Amino acid sequence: MKNAYLEAGRFTSTHGVKGDIKAECWCDDLSVLRALKTVYLKGKDGYTPLQVVRCVPYRDLALMHLQGYESPEAGAPLKNRVFYAAREDLPLEEGSFFIADLIGLEVYDIDDGRKYGVLSDVTDNAASQLYLVKNEEGKIVYLPAVPEFIIDIDLEKGIGVRPVKGLFDEI
CA separation for the pair 65, 146 (Å, rounded): 37
**Number of residues in the chain:** 171
CA separation for the pair 156, 101 (Å, rounded): 10
Domains of the chain plus CATH, in order, are: 5-88 (2.40.30.60), 101-161 (2.30.30.240)
CA separation for the pair 145, 91 (Å, rounded): 20
Q: What CA–CA distances, in Å, run from 166 to 88, 127, 150, 161, 162?
A: 40, 21, 16, 13, 11
Digits of tens for pLDDT over the chain (171 positions)? 578 999 999 999 999 999 899 999 998 889 999 999 999 999 999 999 999 999 999 999 999 999 999 999 999 999 999 999 999 999 888 888 999 999 999 999 999 999 999 999 999 877 788 999 999 889 999 999 999 999 999 999 999 999 888 778 765
CB 33 within 8 A of CB 8: yes
CA separation for the pair 116, 24 (Å, rounded): 33
Helices (H), 23-154: 30-35, 72-75, 99-102
CB 161 within 8 A of CB 144: no
pTM for the full model? 0.81
> Phi/psi of residue 147, each to 5°?
-60, -25
In this predicted structure, what is the pLDDT of residue 170? 61
In this predicted structure, what is the pLDDT of residue 168? 81
